[in-house]
Structure 1
Amino acid sequence: MHKLSVVGICEPKLSKDEVDSIRLRLNFDFVVCNSSGDLWVFFRTPFASQVVGESDQHLSIRWVHPQFPTPIIVSFVHAKCLVPDRQQLWEGLLRDRPAQGSCFTWCNNRLGRARIWKRLDRLLINEECLNFSLSISVSHLVRAPSDHALLLLSFAPKLAYRCRSFRFLNVWPSKERFLDVVKDAWQTEVYGSPFCVIWGKLKNVSRALHLWNRHVFDDIFENIKKGEAVVAAVELRVQSDLSDEAHMELQRAQASLHRLFAVEEQFWSQKARVKCMKHGDLNSRYFHSVVKQRHFRATIHGVMDSRGEWVMDPDEIGQEAVNHFRRLFLADPVSDFQLLYMIPDLSAEIDNVGLKAAPSLEEVKRVIFEMDGDSAAGPDGFSGKFFTTA
């Protein structure tokens, strides 16, 4: 069974006077309750707690643990049914964490059409929690004996990032030498079938751009830190030097820093893939927040294997992915086409000829130049921006 260090119970249906006896029966060291007695939180050492907020709908606790790099605040919520009653309750509870298990956490246990399923129980986190050094996951356990499912909250060390694949950055074409680097790499001879030649040339281009990026752009964020330090140093000089030369130097340093900020904004804008914001003030913070949320939601904490059991170990998750695609691609091909007659023939012969005809170079060029430059990169790492620019 699960080894639980903290347990929160909503709507216990018991008096607060019985909470200590329940704590002893459950073998927990401490318990805290909200004022209405609708929320009970049991926990064991080495957890240390401090209540930082409570009402008849919530209980916020500041937790300290030796494995936590910083204290965290967890809010246990038993919200009221009407929107006006709980409107202010949700302020500050910003992110809904995806969960494993059933999609729903509550059922009225009625029969037939009278049965209702809802997701009433959630784990909400704020943006600061996305920077936490531990990976956070939540699972919906079975609904027994309550009509609500238990939520199992787990903390685990984040997996170290493996070697990252190549990704084309849309800010690269802004440099003068970009097209020369692409041209030199593309002219390298590659032998094989036409598809192998295209793949090999794109591979050469990606390697050349990777090396070129290290010399031209280097570390974007480190460059910004250096630029800010230069501006700060020049500002100190201007405070005591009123010459035009010092003022011009400050303007040059500020302009250089502004260009670095623009590069950073383009970087985060591409990673965030947000298309509703095109121009205006710098939106790097917003784009960064979107990227963090996407990475957080995309983290795979577990997968269900072919036997219907959850696999949580990272190595076993990878092996299960390999097994899934092996079963998919090594399955026996379909050889029975007896049901094809059920598919209506709606295309004319002239349409079939057009569909089977090879596209002209003009058609290929038109399709490529209609690609969205801000779209996600393909498996080769190149976005539409590369093909429309190079």
Structure 2
Amino acid sequence: MRERKREEKTITHFFPMINTIIWNIRGVNSKGAFDRLIRLARTHKTSFISFQEPFVNSSRLHYFRRKIGFNNATSNCSGKIWCLWDDNYSCTIVEDHIQHLTLQVHHIMSQVKFHVSIVYAKIKASNRKDLWGSLSQLNQQIVGPWSIMGNFNVIMESSEKKGGRRHRLSRSLDFINCMVDCGMKDAGYVGNDYTWCNGRRKMKRILKRLDRVMYNDKWFEEFSNVTARHLPRTGADHNTMLLKCTLSNTPMVKYFKFLNFWSSQPDFMEVVQNSWDEYTEGNAMYIMQQKLKKLAHCLSSWSKNTIGNVFDRVMDMENNIKHAEAAYDQDNTDSNRTNLHALYAEQIR
């Protein structure tokens, strides 16, 4: 049965090295979907984003880059893989392939370099052979930490599929052999067991783990902790995937961020005025610096006390949807489906 891609999403977040979103999503122009992407990017402090199968001409890449607030972007030759990143990183294209985009990533502050291959594999097994061959050739030239991640459009074993016809191992051998040749290990995951659903009801419903993160031994040596998390699908057919990789010697820095919706709150101007009117001694530049510092502190405290942590709200909603999706995946009753779709609607409104 042909698995038609409707909407796929993967978030890969290397923390604090690369905080990445790889989002396979049909119709990136959808306001609800794009708004969710921006919320997730801010919540997880992402600094590297990739769209997969955006169903938008690559000429629009820089429009979305500006909307997210990044300064750098590129796409692969097919226009089906977009990568966007901020100024913390310098990225160089190593191979521009129709089914993957491989980059050398340089983290400017720590001077650490590593390779990332963003995969968007073809549906038919015969068409994926070129992908496996390309990755195997890359293994001959890449030295150091390397991760291959994204939508491989194939599972590794029968336990990664639920529903439909029984999986035949022969369909997975090319993929498995390629990962073995490249010295890749599965990063595992936290969350729901499957990353793709065909969206059918009752007996025709099929679920698979098509999206994953693989990495070599050097990657594990460089990063002290690697965690892949399956976030909710939110109405799509693929789960968002969040990868966190911690570099133990990289310090955490917390920056002040102004949230645009603050200005629409009724007491916003009063908080600003009261903070700005406080007397400060010194020369003009010192006074300005101190007033801005004080204002940032006042706005952060005011937001925390009167509005609450907006990022916690996003995470709470994501967790509620994750549990609802898991319940529906295990027991696809009408009540579970109704509950899940109600949560989807609440999230994107």
What interval of TM-score do these two structures reach, taking the shorter chain for normalisation? 0.3 to 0.5
Structure with more of its chain in helix, by fraction: 1
Answer 1 or 2: which has greater strand percent.
Answer: 2
Instruction: Say which one has the larger Rg.
Output: 1
Q: Higher relative contact order by CA 8 Å / sep ≥ 6: 1 or 2?
A: 2
Scaled by the length of structure 2, what TM-score is found?
Answer: 0.43
